[in-house]
Amino acid sequence: MVFSKWLVSLIFIFHLFGTIPTLSSSSLTAKELADIPANFLSHAKSPELTNWMVDIRRKIHENPELGYEEFETSQLIRNELDKMGIPYKYPFAVTGVVGYIGTGRPPFVGIRADMDALPMQESVEWKHKSKVPGKMHACGHDAHVAMLLGAAKLLQEYRDNLQGTVVLLFQPAEEGGGGAKKMVEDGALENIDAVFGLHISGDIPVGSMATRPGPLMAGSGFFEAVISGKGGHAAIPHNTIDPILASTNVILSLQHLVSREADPLDSQVVTVAKFQGGSAFNVIPDAVTIGGTFRAFSKESFMHLKKRIEEIIKGQATVQRCSATVNFLEDKKPFYPVTVNSEDLHEHFQKIAGDMIGADNLIVSQPRMGAEDFSFFSEIIPGYYFFLGMKNETRGPLASSHNPYFTVNEEAFPYGAAIHASLATRYLLHLQPKSAEGKVKDEL
């Protein structure tokens, strides 16, 4: 782990003079405290800051990098933090960066952005289209990085008033790689009392936000199975053991898991999205590979699905005289827990976001079957995740994420930067977590 050059220089100077000064902590009036969200939003809407965030996002968009390969993106982030005079630690989880703004003392609150792109070819023709064949920011992580850097600019200007430390979490490999899990393992959450994260959404109007307390996004896992038989000529199938026929029976039986074994009020999904077998019209192959995903809103339901998926695949293969091996790919694609929002942080979010955009623009989100590795953070400490609107009716509908025609409405950026900064600042100033009061935590 290395510190930024800026921080190393500071530490040397402080050591030379035998003391480490701390930033001042001005006391704020109740009105000044209440005005923070609105003030951050007005500052974030300035052409200078908005255009800066847009430029950052477009640079990242042109050079997408997959999970654990975000070296250029990470370098861009560190360069910008250096320019702002914000100390950081690097690396976490290969390419992750963790920055610090404030006193360097408790309480600590985290705000997070993911950095990775998807293995997709971009179909949108525009000036800043991906320059890397087969890779694209099709989920908005480029926008997430830009907005967190925008929040860093706002917070750095306000650093003398912070009553603790804001931790900037730039995280790799959200798209199936479990980057948040590796960040936790590398100590990125050390001392942090609570963490906030967001995701842009084309279904929600610009200037609005959507979320809910409790379970928000499903736990998810992947599976891959090889069903083996005996290949041969398609004209004499009785001399073969057909793995294609066995695989179709497996797939049909897997669909019964949700329709006949799950409580209708307990949302679950099992989807087979991969089927590979055979290469000729008149040859029955020796084996077929199938794969897919399964999701649920409780750990119990999730583990039940895992158990039954393996039982069904192996059992149905045996019925058809085949054999099967099942791999849940946990070494490459770790299971994502359910994303659960803290009830206490929900009240905090409602207050802060309501002050910023008005209570009428806060939307109650339905639970979503999509998964999010922010859940690895919220398993460890109180966490809160929400969706940031970017829909503009006058511009027509936006393509959904993970789509080659996905686009980002950059009008949303000031709201993302401002809500990040406001949630963190007011958390430190107003909540003053009991964990910080009841025990002394390490300084940075």
The two three-digit tokens of residue 412, written as one number:
């949303």
Q: What's the CA gap between 326 and 76, in Å, rounded?
A: 41
- Residue positions counted in the chain: 444
Q: What single DSSP character describes residue 429?
A: I
Q: Are 362 and 324 in contact (CB under 8 A)?
A: no
Q: What's the CA gap between 97 and 172, in Å, rounded?
A: 9
Q: Which long-range contacts (CB under 8 A, 24 or more apart) does 359-364 make?
A: 361/205, 361/207, 361/208, 361/209, 362/208, 362/209, 362/210, 363/204, 363/208, 363/209, 363/210, 363/211, 364/210, 364/211, 364/212
Q: What's the CA gap between 252 and 95, in Å, rounded?
A: 41
**Residue 17 to residues 13, 102, 236, Cα–Cα distance (Å):** 6, 21, 88
- Nearest in space to 160 (alpha carbons), one of 25, 54, 270: 25
Rg of the chain on CA atoms, in Å: 24
- DSSP secondary structure of 84-100: HT--EEEEETTTEEEEE
Q: What's the CA gap between 281 and 264, in Å, rounded?
A: 41
Residue 69 assigned ligand-binding role: no
Query: Backbone dihedral region of 4: left (phi > 0), alpha (psi from -120 to 50 degrees) or beta?
Result: beta
Q: What's the CA gap between 93 and 30, in Å, rounded?
A: 40
Q: Are 222 and 285 in contact (CB under 8 A)?
A: no
Say how many Å lie between the first and final Cα of the chain, rounded. 13
Residue 141 assigned ligand-binding role: yes
Residue 322 assigned ligand-binding role: no
Residues annotated within the binding site are 139, 141, 175, 199, 402
Residues annotated within the binding site for Mn(2+) are 139, 141, 175, 199, 402
